[in-house]
């Protein structure tokens, strides 16, 4: 199974020069199991922060803040290829001994000004511009991995009603979308990873008219309510079976 290229412990992405003209510089957001992650894209760096579900800074997170240098970026055939430097623990395994490595990742705009995909590609090391040229020439990646939302889109979704106010009919629509997501994952048409599942569980609430910015406790309250509701009990048994 192919895996997403991560900036430990976070995903990363960026644009430079021509890429900036396509409106990717700025703030973008994705969802994990317990946090929102905000990425601020600049011409020479990527800064990421972990946020609470109200979009306030989660300064208590071990990985609250991270900054990485951008080495090189190209835009080819609608894809954004970029190389970003990260620090990794040295070969001796000691936390204080770190070395610099550079990896290549691929992004693609799916909804202009609203949504960006990190494509699922095998990990590749960047050594120089030639290595990036060779990588681009042989790239056939199309499978989506993580999804990122623009700042304007996340602010629009934030204004939607809370998931705890969801009615029965909307619950059924939401569950059908979750079922479709499970089918997509089973078909291997997207990257099989927990990040994608975590994101979509939140994102799909927005598609039926509710804010995806809900906490674990709010989702638990939603689950318990409809799990016991006669109108949705059987649906829950089928959808969330062990």
Count CB neighbours of 149 within 10 A.
Answer: 24
3-state secondary structure of 111: strand
Report yes or no: 82 and 114 within 8 Å, Cβ to Cβ.
no
- Mean pLDDT, the chain, rounded, equals 82
Question: What's the pLDDT tens digit per position in 97-144?
Answer: 567 788 777 888 888 889 988 887 766 777 888 988 988 898 888 887
Reply yes or no on whether the pLDDT at 159 is more than 90: yes
Residue 122: burial class (beta carbons within 10 Å; 0-12, 13-18, 19+): exposed
Residue 62: burial class (beta carbons within 10 Å; 0-12, 13-18, 19+): exposed
pLDDT at position 143 is 81
pLDDT at position 189 is 62
Which residues 6+ apart lie within 8 Å of 236 measured at CB?
A: 175, 223, 226, 227
Tell me the helix, strand and coil percentages in the chain, rounded to 5: 35, 30, 35
Question: What's the pLDDT tens digit per position in 37-92?
Answer: 998 878 788 889 999 999 999 988 877 888 888 888 888 888 888 788 876 655 55
First to last CA, the chain: 23
Going by pLDDT thresholds of 50, 70 and 90, the confidence category of residue 205 is very high
Highest mean pLDDT among 57-66, 155-164, 190-199: 155-164
What pTM does this model have? Answer: 0.80
Strands 65-76 and 10-11: unpaired
Q: From the CA atom positions of the chain, what is the Rg in Å?
A: 19
Reply yes or no on whether the pLDDT at 18 is more than 50: no
Reply yes or no on whether the pLDDT at 21 is more than 90: no
Given CA atoms 218, 219, 220, 224 in this order, what sign does their dihedral have? positive
Helices vs. strands in the chain: H and E counts, helices first: 6, 10
């Amino acid at each position: 199974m192919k895996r997403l290229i991560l900036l430990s412990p976070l995903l990363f992405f960026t644009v430079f020069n021509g890429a900036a003209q396509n409106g990717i510089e700025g703030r973008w957001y994705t969802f994990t199991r317990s946090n929102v992650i905000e990425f601020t894209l600049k011409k020479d760096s990527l800064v990421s922060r972990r946020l609470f579900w109200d979009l306030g800074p989660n300064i208590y997170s071990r990985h609250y803040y991270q900054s990485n240098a951008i080495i090189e970026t190209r835009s080819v055939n609608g894809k954004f290829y970029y190389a970003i430097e990260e620090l990794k623990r040295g070969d001796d395994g000691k936390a204080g001994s770190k070395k610099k490595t550079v990896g290549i990742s691929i992004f693609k705009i799916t909804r202009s000004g609203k949504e960006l995909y990190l494509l699922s590609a095998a990990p590749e090391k960047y050594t120089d511009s030639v290595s990036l040229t060779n990588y681009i020439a042989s790239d056939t990646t199309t499978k989506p991995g993580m999804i990122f939302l623009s700042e304007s889109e996340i602010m629009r979704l934030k204004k939607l009603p809370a998931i705890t106010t969801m009615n029965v009919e909307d619950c059924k629509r939401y569950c059908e979308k979750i079922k479709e997501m499970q089918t997509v994952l089973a078909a291997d048409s997207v990257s099989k990873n927990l990040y994608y599942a975590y994101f979509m569980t939140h994102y799909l609430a927005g598609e039926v008219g509710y804010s995806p910015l809900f906490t674990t406790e709010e989702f638990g309250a939603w689950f318990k309510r409809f799990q016991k509701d006669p109108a949705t009990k059987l649906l829950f048994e089928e959808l969330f079976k062990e």
